[in-house]
Amino acid sequence: MKQATKGIYQATETYSWKKLRNGAESIIFEPVKIGAWNLKTRTAMAPMTRCFADDETGVVGEDVVEYYRKRAADGVGLIITEGILVSPRAKGNPQVPGLYTKDQVEAWKKVTEAVHNEGGTIIAQLWHVGRLSHHELTLGYPPQAPSAIAAEGRVPRFRKPYDVPEAMTVEDIQQLVDQFAQAGKNAIEAGFDGVEIHGAHGYLIDQFNSDLSNKRKDKYGGDLGQRLTLMKEVTKAVIEAVGTDRTVIRFSAHKSDVPTYMWEDPEEAIRTFVEAFKEVGATLLHPSTMDFTRVLVDGKTMHQLVRKYWDGIIIGVGTLDPGTAEEALEEGTIDVAAFGRPLISNPDFINRLKNGEELEEYEARKHLPILI
């Protein structure tokens, strides 16, 4: 059973999943080259914010080193980290790590070295939560957003209502673009193999993408194609900083604060997103959904619709089970399958799949709730 509450998975996850048809010979265990990376398997560890960093400094410790080392040793192809902040005002939860100070960069070097010693590949997810925050988390400043519209609900793990945000000026936006680019450079300095831009789930970049939170009248507002201007600027800047073959873009319809949200015309929205990514030279996409098998249009799922318009790499995610992932890989809908909660409760997830062993259930009380 799965329960999502304001962006936190709270309940027990029971793995009554579709199993691998081909067992240890499954395509899921094949090595694959995507972008700049030679992955050991066609699997990824989905980004899951765990709030394990020092709250004052945003510096990660030895527990984080061991957390990622274990998954690399197990054979996960691509590890995508928890969301890592690009600035102090990007923060939306206590104890979230950053990539904007020297100390933070130095601490992440221990993580990347440990992963590389196990033959793994790890990229940093660059994150700014925007309006999904509170001034007590952002150095006393109001949260930033495209428009001064507060989100409904409370900050996860902080339990206070979301603040009314400050509408960003054009100068603020340019500073934000620069912060993402610098965080990308910092990630490479820290030893990461690349980065993922978090443009999904109702966080700051996605707040510009959305008609719920973006009521601007300048070049950053308007119809969907125009609202994607910030995402394009950030993506272009990060690609220039680290390379298109090391830059993944994550996008979604899903909003952490509005879980039921869906685009009015899903296929047209996806086509618009894909055209924007092509325009700025992106090559690696991570379309995000809470249900990989959900049909949106004409019998097609989100990832199938993305594949209709996109010939590049697609990382698939959305409560994937092994059998469904295997099928999607075989039909070419996705190139890599990302798993989340199973990798929390099963650090040896890949080996368990290969050996046909049962998986330990994910329980929030035991493994801590996961922010998405």
- Residue 175: pLDDT over 90: yes
What is the reported pLDDT for 361? Answer: 84
- 14 pLDDT tier (thresholds 50, 70, 90): very low
Average pLDDT, integer, range 43-61: 95
- Residue 364: pLDDT over 70: no
Q: Around 127, how many Cα atoms within 13 Å sit in the side-chain half-sphere?
A: 27
d(C-alpha 144, C-alpha 321), whole Å: 36
- Give the list of residues 6+ apart from residue 252 with CB closer than 8 angstroms, or none: 200, 201, 206, 287, 288, 289
- Residue 9: pLDDT over 50: no
- 368 pLDDT tier (thresholds 50, 70, 90): low
**SS3 assignment, position 339:** strand
pLDDT 10s digits, 205-231? 999 999 999 999 999 999 999 999 999
> 186-221 b/e with 16+ CB inside 10 Å = b?
bbbebbbbbbbbbbbbbbbbbbbbbebbbebeeebb
For all residues of the chain together, what is the average pLDDT?
Answer: 93
CATH number for 4-371: choose from 3.40.50.2300, 3.20.20.70, 1.10.4160.10, 3.40.50.1220.
3.20.20.70
d(C-alpha 372, C-alpha 254), whole Å: 10
Going from the C-alpha of 52 to that of each of 48, 61, 210, 211, the distances in angstroms are 11, 8, 30, 33
- Residue 251: pLDDT over 90: yes
- Residue 2: pLDDT over 90: no
Own/partner contacts of 139-143, CB < 8 Å, gap of 24 or more, are 139/88, 139/89, 141/89, 141/166, 142/166, 143/89, 143/92
- Residue 12: pLDDT over 60: no
Average pLDDT, integer, range 3-26: 61
- Residue 360: pLDDT over 60: yes
- 370 pLDDT tier (thresholds 50, 70, 90): low
Window from 7-11, 167-171, 243-247, 356-360 with minimum mean pLDDT = 7-11
What is the reported pLDDT for 18? Answer: 84
pLDDT 10s digits, 54-92? 999 999 999 999 999 999 999 999 999 999 999 999 999
Residue 314 bridge partners (DSSP): 285
Structure tokens at 16: 């009554």
What is the reported pLDDT for 371? Answer: 60
Q: Which of 9, 68, 162, 203 is catalytic?
A: 203
Average pLDDT, integer, range 290-297: 96
Going from the C-alpha of 335 to that of each of 33, 53, 161, the distances in angstroms are 10, 32, 39
Q: 162 catalytic, yes or no?
A: no
Taking the alpha carbons at both ends of the chain, their separation in whole angstroms is: 17
164, 152 contact by CB (below 8 A): no
What is the reported pLDDT for 362? Answer: 74
Query: Position of tokens 């080193």?
Result: 65
Residue of higher predicted confidence among 1 and 32: 32
What is the reported pLDDT for 44? Answer: 98
- 372 pLDDT tier (thresholds 50, 70, 90): low
- 290 pLDDT tier (thresholds 50, 70, 90): very high
pLDDT 10s digits, 99-147? 999 999 999 999 999 999 999 999 999 999 999 999 999 999 999 999 9
324 CA to centre of own chain: 20
- Residue 258: pLDDT over 50: yes
- 366 pLDDT tier (thresholds 50, 70, 90): low
d(C-alpha 235, C-alpha 188), whole Å: 16
d(C-alpha 328, C-alpha 318), whole Å: 12
d(C-alpha 225, C-alpha 289), whole Å: 21
Sign of CA dihedral 256, 257, 260, 262: negative
What is the reported pLDDT for 4? Answer: 35
- 158 pLDDT tier (thresholds 50, 70, 90): confident
What is the reported pLDDT for 49? Answer: 86
Inter-helix orientation angle 266-279/229-242, to 10°: 40
Residue of higher predicted confidence among 15 and 257: 257
252, 287 contact by CB (below 8 A): yes
